[in-house]
Amino acid sequence: MLRFLNQCSRGRGAWLLMALTAFALELVALWFQHGMGLQPCVMCIYERCALLGVMGAGLLGAIAPNTPLRYAALAVWLYSAGKGIALAWEHTMIQLHPSPFMTCDFAARFPAWLPLDKWLPQMFVASGDCAVRQWEFLTLEMPQWLVGIFAAYFIVALLVLIAQFFKPKKRDLFGR
């Protein structure tokens, strides 16, 4: 399996598939916001940014998968998925254990050199409360689903990282 993952990481298809899944999840988030009228909170906005990091890692890996750039993409992937787990977990705890002492900010804090809330306010301006439960599927709230999604991204990233130490098999003319 690790040799297979190593081989997949050296091709564009797997990286583009990862970017596509993250893009699809971003589209779902925008549908929840603009189609269903759910108000994203600050934690939701940060979770979107982590998902954009996963998507960016997929695109970065697809640029030159057979070069050391693949390792940079892996680093971005691991960081974004890990940060996503932490954010989604914190958001879950805010929802499951509401407290006046455990709240989120009113507005997202982006660096001055990357004011995403100014550039794309339709996507990055928070208007909801982190403790409010707006959506549920199979008894899980949205941040709980995101914990699982980011955990899956992180586990696969770890496996792909470990697989980098296993050389893919060279096939001869007869496929052995």
Task: Give the residue numbers annotated as catalytic, written as ranges.
Answer: 41, 44, 48, 104, 130
- CA–CA distances in Å: residue 148 to residues 124, 129, 151: 23, 22, 5
Report which residue type is found at 60. Answer: L
